[in-house]
Amino acid sequence: MSLSSEEIERYARHIILRDVGGPGQARLKAARVLVIGAGGLGAPLLQYLAAAGIGTIGIADDDIVSLSNLQRQIIHGTPDIDRPKVDSAINAIARLNPHVAVVPHRLRVDDDNVDALLADYDIIADGSDNFATRYRVSDAAFRVGRPLVLGALGTFDASLTTLRAHESGPDGTPNPTYRCLFPEPPAPGTVPTCEEAGIIGALPGIVGSLMALEVIRAIVGFGEGLVGRLLLIDALTMRFETLSYGWDPDNVLSGAGNREKSLTP
């Protein structure tokens, strides 16, 4: 996919990078990325994906902008209060990079729409704020064979991983699913929500930016991603740790005997 002279100037700092270059930038332009959630994680994620020149970005969110969002959801502004987050995000992306096509999905991701929604994109980035959506999206990404970058936030802590559960590693062992890492969601009410416990405002900016880096890495193909690794961030001590995890043959999604029948043909 060719780049215009304006795009060459816009993406000049990528194009001179040895591990990106013109071919990598063309891959970014050809890519279709779906972002689940236009909130705390989605705000910086969407902006950096748009700035990087992702050709098509889908945004799935059914919420509206509220005043309390603006402490961390920096893609929205005070004039956007009471507007759908999808609409506000589209306007912000258009201001940043008119070369990006944005596909709005003003909906809540559920069991009836998730497979078809994900299948229309090359890679998925989940910035949702609840366990039900996280498990629903990660299961569907496995079924339809799509890479998934998944971030999660606490009050002063966060985590990030990349899932390519439909693929296998170099030794033929299946890559892990989200259920290999966390087999089941916590019981309702055991983990307080952001609304209940609060969150430090700058933390989503860090994690959303790292999610964008993982998406760009997956498309261009440089460096070592977070497949089979969980990045843990502790903002109280400014600590970053990475834990390795692997395929669980007993997991209900891709475990021994379940893998082939779970994949969507």
Give me the residue label for tokens 């690794």. 229
By DSSP bridging, strand 157-163 and strand 148-153 are antiparallel
The residues that bridge with 218 in the sheet, in sequence order, are: none
How many C-beta atoms lie closer than 10 Å to residue 208's C-beta? 33
Would you say the C-alpha torsion 233, 234, 239, 243 has a positive or negative sign? negative
Residue 39 to residue 132: CA distance in whole angstroms: 16
Q: How far is CA 108 from CA 70, 146, 148, 165, in A?
A: 21, 19, 18, 24
Q: What residues are annotated to the active site?
A: 194
Token pair for residue 64?
Answer: 């509206």
DSSP for residue 168: B
Residue 236 to residue 129: CA distance in whole angstroms: 21
Asked if 46 and 74 touch (Cβ cutoff 8 Å), the reply is: no
> In this structure, what are the phi and psi dihedrals at residue 69, rounded to the nearest 5 degrees?
-70, -30
